[in-house]
């Protein structure tokens, strides 16, 4: 089959959908080809046990950009807003924080936390201004690029001498040193470390963990919410918005190859042999998959191939879903506490120790966990009186020494359960069914190379001007008509819509 589209988008992840809707609203004829049966990519809800549904990968919303909401006129259906983070203590002396407020810590820690939060919010806000536009190109004489760089310098300087120095000091630093200097409560340090390392191959002592923390803060100042019906409802809304704007979406349509004719794209070929033509192809698939597999090195310059091949993207976050016949008991917990975001990260040392084995291809025997019970706020997810527990578990390295065989899986499930059991003594009596998604499973189910949260590690050497690689951070790839729009581009992963929106505007600008 041959048809002519103004643009073809490979992948209906939330970024692909945002990109498609913006292009279509400007009158472009857009086709989206999605490998899976469902749209949404890693932002989907699905049943994992009879009558029990869950956000199958991303489960909490904290980075979705107001600019995207405004441009697409979206009305998000949020079932629970402003979730608190509760860092669990075995003896019930949990600490809670949200939106700059904290409880369960000493007065000293409370004061330090307020100061820390204020500063991080300010630095996050600075970063946020730059999330919603393509980064400037370095080393050009183009006035727009020069202006943007000058503005960035000015914005940093404008914070005042002390804050500017502090920003520059912190940006490449590890969060461990900063937390050690400021706080005494180990739970607080464990919680904030976890905020910094989620989705990365980094421990609290790794450089760049302040950057990852700031990126999180840059989303919605750290405010967390839970979409009704799980993350899939957000993707469904984006799918409807795209369709209503005229986008054609074909699911179960995996793209095998990007077609290239004399250095320019001419369309794509699907796995079942269908050919779709367009002089603009935009990939929501990750950079490595797009360039190394869908395009192929023979079309690429050697230095570029080398850089893309070296783009680090080995996932470290696993997802675990539990169907529960009742809620577990947690020491000194109120009913409403089950609606919040719970962390099992008793200290920053615990988090660092959990990271250590991952460096050598082993999973954490004592993993760091982010736990939610979405069915407590949203009864559409489980049968009456029953519940769903959704857990992100780190560290679960993609490149496990033994390749995630049954034994590895069993060991990691046991490790997750024993971490849970310390705080939920009756958890074994509650579990009806369970499902583990390792980064390898995530790669298979969501077609993300390495199963990486951000489609590529989030560190200064893969950030902003050099994301995914130096010279190609403006969404356009080194083949005429080929663009990226997924999390592997600026600004990075998380459910933000920013990559898709920025890419769409670059493409529209080029006509
Ligand atoms: C375990 C885990 C938990 C996470 N939790 C959170 C969270 O709580 N909150 C948060 O904000 N973020 C979270 N994230 C990160 C977030 O899910 C991703 O950053 C985000 O989904 C990326 O969106 P995307 O649209 O760029 O890409 P994706 O969601 O990966 O979508 C890409 C789409 O392209 C399709 N595709 C790929 N190749 C092809 C092909 N050849 N042909 C056709 N289609 C193709 C895929 O099937 C997919 O639908 C989590 C990530 C992981 C791994």
pLDDT average per 10 residues of sequence, the chain (511 residues): 83 98 98 98 98 98 95 96 97 95 97 95 92 89 89 90 92 95 97 97 96 90 90 98 98 98 96 96 98 97 96 96 98 97 98 97 98 97 98 97 95 98 98 98 98 96 94 95 98 97 96 77
Q: What is the pLDDT of residue 220?
A: 75
* Helices assigned H by DSSP within 369-421: 374-377, 406-421
Tokens of 412: 């990691």
For residue 160, give every residue at least 6 positions away whose Cβ sits within 8 Å of its Cβ, in sequence order, or none: none
* 179 shares its domain with 239: no
CATH number of the domain where residue 466 is located: 3.50.50.60
- The CA–CA distances, whole Å, from 364 to 20, 48, 320, 400, 411 equal 39, 25, 15, 11, 10
* 317 shares its domain with 425: yes
Rounded Cα distance between 24 and 436, Å, is 38
Q: What is the pLDDT of residue 135?
A: 92
* 337 shares its domain with 390: yes
Q: Residue 314 in contact with residue 398, Cβ under 8 Å? A: yes
9 lines ligand 1 (CB under 6 A): no
* 157 shares its domain with 247: no
Residue in 8, 11, 254, 437 to alter for ligand 1 test, most ligand atoms within 8 A of Cβ: 11
- The CA–CA distances, whole Å, from 498 to 267, 355, 493 equal 25, 29, 9
* 293 shares its domain with 144: no
Among 418, 446, 474, the domain-final residue is 446
For residue 216, give every residue at least 6 positions away whose Cβ sits within 8 Å of its Cβ, in sequence order, or none: 62, 63, 124, 195, 196, 198, 222, 494
* Helices assigned H by DSSP within 302-405: 302-309, 348-355, 374-377
CATH number of the domain where residue 390 is located: 3.30.519
Ligand 1 atom closest to Cα of residue 315: 53
Asked if the structure places residue 367 within a domain, the reply is yes
Asked if the structure places residue 271 within a domain, the reply is yes
Rounded Cα distance between 24 and 244, Å, is 9
Asked if the structure places residue 225 within a domain, the reply is no
Asked if the structure places residue 81 within a domain, the reply is no
Helix axes 14-25, 231-244, angle to 10 degrees: 20
Q: What is the pLDDT of residue 498?
A: 97
Tokens of 60: 């909490």
Q: What is the pLDDT of residue 431?
A: 98
Of 378, 507, 390, residue with least CA distance to 77: 378
* 148 shares its domain with 203: yes
Is the ipTM above a cut-off of 0.95? yes
CA dihedral 257, 462, 18, 74 (to 10 degrees): 160
Chain-centroid distance, C-alpha 45: 16
Give residue 249's domain range. Answer: 7-43+63-75+230-312+448-509
Asked if the structure places residue 301 within a domain, the reply is yes
* 113 shares its domain with 170: yes
Tokens of 225: 């919410």
Tally of domains within the chain: 3
12 lines ligand 1 (CB under 6 A): yes
373 CA distance to ligand 1 middle (Å): 22
- For 141, counting Cβ atoms within 10 Å of its Cβ (0-12 exposed, 13-18 middle, 19+ buried), the class is exposed
Ligand 1 atom closest to Cα of residue 42: 29
448 CA distance to ligand 1 middle (Å): 7
* 436 shares its domain with 487: no
Residue 317 φ then ψ, to 5°: -105, 130
Q: Residue 374 in contact with residue 388, Cβ under 8 Å? A: yes
- The CA–CA distances, whole Å, from 307 to 57, 134, 438, 468, 503 equal 28, 20, 26, 9, 21
Residue nearest ligand 1's atom 4 by CA: 58
Question: 473 in helix, strand or coil?
Answer: coil
Residue 448 φ then ψ, to 5°: -110, 120
Q: Residue 348 in contact with residue 186, Cβ under 8 Å? A: yes
Q: Residue 394 in contact with residue 364, Cβ under 8 Å? A: yes
Rg (CA), the chain: 22
Residue in 18, 32, 39, 57 to alter for ligand 1 test, most ligand atoms within 8 A of Cβ: 57
Asked if the structure places residue 200 within a domain, the reply is yes
Of 430, 357, 428, residue with least CA distance to 397: 357
Q: What is the pLDDT of residue 476?
A: 97
Q: Rounded to the nearest 5 degrees, what angle is found at the Cα of 242, between the Cα atoms of 9 and 127?
A: 75
Q: What is the pLDDT of residue 343?
A: 98
Tokens of 358: 């991952």
Rounded Cα distance between 507 and 511, Å, is 7
* 235 shares its domain with 296: yes
Q: What is the pLDDT of residue 4?
A: 86
Of 217, 182, 189, residue with least CA distance to 95: 189
Rounded Cα distance between 455 and 369, Å, is 21
486 lines ligand 1 (CB under 6 A): yes
389 lines ligand 1 (CB under 6 A): no
DSSP string, 21-34: HHHHHTT--EEEE-
Rounded Cα distance between 46 and 231, Å, is 10
Asked if the structure places residue 27 within a domain, the reply is yes
Among 416, 446, 476, the domain-final residue is 446
* 174 shares its domain with 256: no
Q: Residue 284 in contact with residue 269, Cβ under 8 Å? A: no
Tell me the per-residue pLDDT of 135-160, one tens digit each, with 9 for 90 and over.
998 888 889 889 999 999 899 999 99
* Helices assigned H by DSSP within 132-160: 143-158
287 lines ligand 1 (CB under 6 A): no
Residue nearest ligand 1's atom 27 by CA: 13
Residue 121 DSSP class: H
Residue nearest ligand 1's atom 6 by CA: 58
107 CA distance to ligand 1 middle (Å): 41
* 378 shares its domain with 501: no
* 287 shares its domain with 317: no
Asked if the structure places residue 56 within a domain, the reply is no
For residue 371, give every residue at least 6 positions away whose Cβ sits within 8 Å of its Cβ, in sequence order, or none: 341, 342, 343, 344, 389, 390, 391, 420
Rounded Cα distance between 93 and 98, Å, is 17
């Amino acid at each position: 089959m041959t048809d002519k589209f103004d643009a073809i988008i490979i992948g209906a992840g939330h970024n692909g959908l945002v990109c498609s809707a913006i292009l279509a609203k400007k009158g472009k004829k857009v086709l989206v080809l999605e490998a899976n049966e469902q749209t949404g990519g890693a932002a989907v809800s699905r049943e994992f046990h009879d009558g029990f549904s869950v956000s199958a990968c991303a489960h909490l919303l904290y980075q979705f950009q107001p600019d995207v909401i405004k441009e697409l006129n979206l009305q998000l259906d949020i079932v629970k807003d402003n979730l608190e983070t509760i860092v669990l203590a075995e003896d019930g002396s949990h600490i809670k924080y949200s939106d700059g407020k904290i409880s369960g810590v000493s007065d000293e820690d409370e004061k330090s936390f307020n100061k820390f939060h204020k500063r991080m919010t300010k630095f996050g806000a600075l970063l946020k201004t730059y999330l919603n536009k393509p980064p400037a190109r370095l080393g050009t004489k183009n006035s727009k690029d020069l202006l943007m760089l000058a503005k960035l310098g000015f914005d940093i300087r404008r914070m005042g001498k002390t804050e500017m120095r502090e920003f520059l000091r912190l940006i490449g630093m590890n969060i461990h040193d900063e937390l050690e200097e400021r706080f005494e409560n180990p739970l607080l340090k464990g919680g904030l470390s976890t905020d910094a390392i989620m989705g990365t191959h980094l421990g609290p002592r790794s450089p760049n963990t302040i950057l990852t923390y700031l990126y999180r803060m840059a989303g919605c100042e750290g405010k967390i919410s839970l979409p009704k019906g799980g993350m899939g409802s957000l993707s469904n809304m984006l799918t409807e918005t795209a369709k209503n704007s005229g986008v054609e979406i074909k699911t179960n349509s995996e793209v095998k190859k990007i077609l290239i004719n004399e250095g320019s794209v001419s369309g794509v070929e699907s796995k079942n042999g269908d050919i779709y033509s367009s002089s603009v192809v935009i990939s929501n698939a990750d950079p490595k998959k797009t360039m190394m597999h869908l395009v192929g090195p023979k079309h690429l310059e050697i230095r570029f191939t080398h850089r893309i091949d070296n783009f680090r993207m080995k996932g470290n976050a696993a997802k675990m879903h539990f169907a529960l016949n009742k809620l577990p008991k947690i020491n000194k917990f109120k009913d409403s506490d089950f609606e919040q975001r719970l962390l099992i990260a008793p200290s920053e040392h615990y988090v660092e120790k959990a990271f250590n084995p991952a460096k050598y291809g082993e999973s954490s025997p004592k993993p760091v966990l982010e736990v939610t019970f979405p069915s407590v706020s949203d009864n559409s997810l489980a049968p009456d009186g029953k519940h769903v527990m959704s857990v992100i578990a780190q560290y679960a390295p993609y490149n496990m020494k033994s390749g995630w065989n049954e034994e590895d899986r069993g060991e990691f499930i046991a490790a997750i359960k024993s971490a849970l059991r310390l705080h939920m003594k009756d958890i074994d009596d509650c579990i009806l069914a369970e499902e583990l998604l390792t980064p390898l499973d995530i790669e298979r189910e969501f077609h993300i190379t390495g199963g990486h949260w951000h489609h590529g590690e989030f560190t200064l050497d893969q950030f902003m001007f050099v994301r995914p690689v130096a010279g190609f951070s403006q969404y356009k790839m080194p083949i005429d008509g080929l663009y990226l729009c997924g999390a592997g581009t600026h600004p990075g992963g998380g459910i933000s819509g920013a990559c898709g929106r920025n890419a769409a505007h670059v493409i529209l600008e080029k006509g």
